[in-house]
Amino acid sequence: MSISALNTPVNMRSGSLTSSSLNSSRPTADSAQVTTSQDAGPCASLEETFASCADQPVSLIIQSRDQEKLAALKAQLLADNAQNKVTADLPIIGGFSIEMAAPGQDTLEQLTQAQENGQVSISLDNEAGYIVSQGEHIPGQASGASANKGLAEPGVSVNTPATEASSIGEGGKQTNVMLGVRELHEQGFTGKGTCVCVLDSGIAPHPDFGNRIIAFKDCVNGRDDVPYDDCGHGTHCAGIVAGDGTNSGGKNVGVAPEANIVGVKVLDACGQGSTSQIIHGIQWAITHKGKYGIDVLSISLGRPIERTRFLDPMTMACQVAEKFGLTVVISAGNEGPDPGTVASPGNAPDAITVGALDDGGTETTDDDWPAYFSSCGPTKFDHLEKPDIMAPGVDIISCSNDAEGYVKMSGTSMAAPFAAGVAALMKGANDHIKNDQIKSIIMDTATPIKYVDGEPVTDRNKFGAGIVDPRQAVDQALALAKK
């Protein structure tokens, strides 16, 4: 099975996806079981899955090529048990998510037969989370996100006034200083006229965003009226993309400080979200691409790869977003340096998957070093070369969701928005550039990492094409515009 382009465009004006726009390939018989482990093939049966959950409901994603049969199946499941609840319609992957109690025997047999006949694909609606590595944190008052258990703490918030912003701690790095970004700003390349959608834990209205948060969607709590971030991770990522440094006297400036921002909340206060919530967020970004002029989708989250990319609903959604013209930038994961540790949806072939670089906080790459935690390829099951690129991701200073301060975080979560900001600069330099051209240029202009610890590096699954070069990437985008 393969993922193909959607032949009928989404109606961007109405902001809706309809079944007529879903002519992409769908799962076939090789996805006829619920995938619950690290096995590429069929795993637990439906009966075993429900039995293992005792009296607890099971969250599933059900997909099918046949939309009429899918609708009939949905109606049947809702009628089968009043406790069953559809949590999201997901037309971009030809499916829906549902919270189900143990089904009756007739329904269970029908679902099982539909799987075996290749009529539907059923997968668990697993949780994903933000991708931040533990490291040195800023001393001070803990943010709400640090209460999260089971995930690396994203950092500690510091409430520093603008006049004291530089006292944020030792070793923190300012985004605009690295890799020539400040030089591009001085030349007038600031991302003005572009829009980056940050798919994360939300976005707090920090002074560094001014009036550039032009839309907000809450796929977790349904609070769409006012932007917020009860975790802090999304605000930090958004600041790396597009903070303008207002509250730090121009010191803590993002890569594209005049780009507009759209915040889509898919992660909760603990930095976790279901696969269906994340797909719903991607779907919303696609349908609102025209309304808000969204150019780039920045995704700093993930979970272990459990299926081939052809059967992974989250990866499929990212591929669809690419087909609709969005430049999708995804963090690689923090499970490195072992091979095969890239997270989903970083296994999306057309997306820009970003590993983390320990940048020295300077404009040169002489003092740069690959971060020890950055995940490496090849991708599990599909053996794709990933990541595609490396970007700064260690001790990055950016906006806090707590009042008006800043916070220092590390992880490939920080590297992805850096690269997303570069994509916005390129789009600002050449409004006609396509998303596949952006990826090609970013990779072609990267600075190769030739040696680590004095040893030559030949495996692109460790560092991709190398270190992103914002100046060269923008130059090539301009050159392309003149052709």
Question: 352-358 and 327-331: which strand pairing?
Answer: parallel
Look at residue 131 in the predicted model and tell me its pLDDT.
61
**How far apart are alpha carbons 84 and 7 in whole angstroms?**
33
User: Where does residue 235 fall: left (phi above 0), alpha (psi -120 to 50 degrees), or beta otherwise?
Assistant: alpha
| 129-481 has the same fold as 19-125 | no
Domain at 19-125: CATH architecture: 2-Layer Sandwich (3.30)
**How far apart are alpha carbons 88 and 108 in whole angstroms?**
21
Look at the block and give the residue holding tokens 């600075």: 447
Instruction: Report, in angstroms and rounded to the nearest whole number, the Rg of the chain calculated over CA atoms.
Output: 22
Over residues 63-110, the pLDDT tens digits come to 999 999 999 999 999 998 899 999 999 999 999 999 998 887 888 888
* Domain 129-481 of CATH type 3.40.50.620: no
52 burial via Cβ count (<10 Å: 0-12, 13-18, 19+)? exposed
Q: What residue segments make up the domains of the chain, in order of their start? A: 19-125, 129-481
- Is the predicted pLDDT of residue 377 greater than 90, yes or no? yes
Helix, strand, coil distribution of the chain in percent, nearest 5: 30, 20, 50
Cβ atoms of residues 127 and 303 within 8 Å:
yes
At 22, the pLDDT band (50, 70, 90 cuts) reads very low
Q: Token digits for 118?
A: 């290749």
More confident residue, 389 or 157: 389
At 47, the pLDDT band (50, 70, 90 cuts) reads confident
User: Where does residue 383 fall: left (phi above 0), alpha (psi -120 to 50 degrees), or beta otherwise?
Assistant: left
**How far apart are alpha carbons 260 and 424 in whole angstroms?**
10
Over residues 404-446, the pLDDT tens digits come to 899 999 999 999 999 999 999 999 999 999 999 999 999 999 9
Amino acid identity, position 182: R
What Å distances lie between residue 6 and 22, 140, 282, 352, CA to CA? 6, 49, 15, 20
Look at residue 422 in the predicted model and tell me its pLDDT.
98
- Percent of the chain, pLDDT > 70? 81
Q: What are phi and psi of 60, to 5 degrees?
A: -125, 155
More confident residue, 412 or 111: 412
- Percent of the chain, pLDDT > 90? 63
- The lowest-confidence range among 39-48, 97-106, 283-292, 341-350 is 39-48
SS3 state at 27: coil
The catalytic residue positions are: 200, 233, 413
**How far apart are alpha carbons 7 and 241 in whole angstroms?**
32
- Is the predicted pLDDT of residue 150 greater than 60, yes or no? no
DSSP label at residue 218:
E
Cβ atoms of residues 382 and 355 within 8 Å:
no
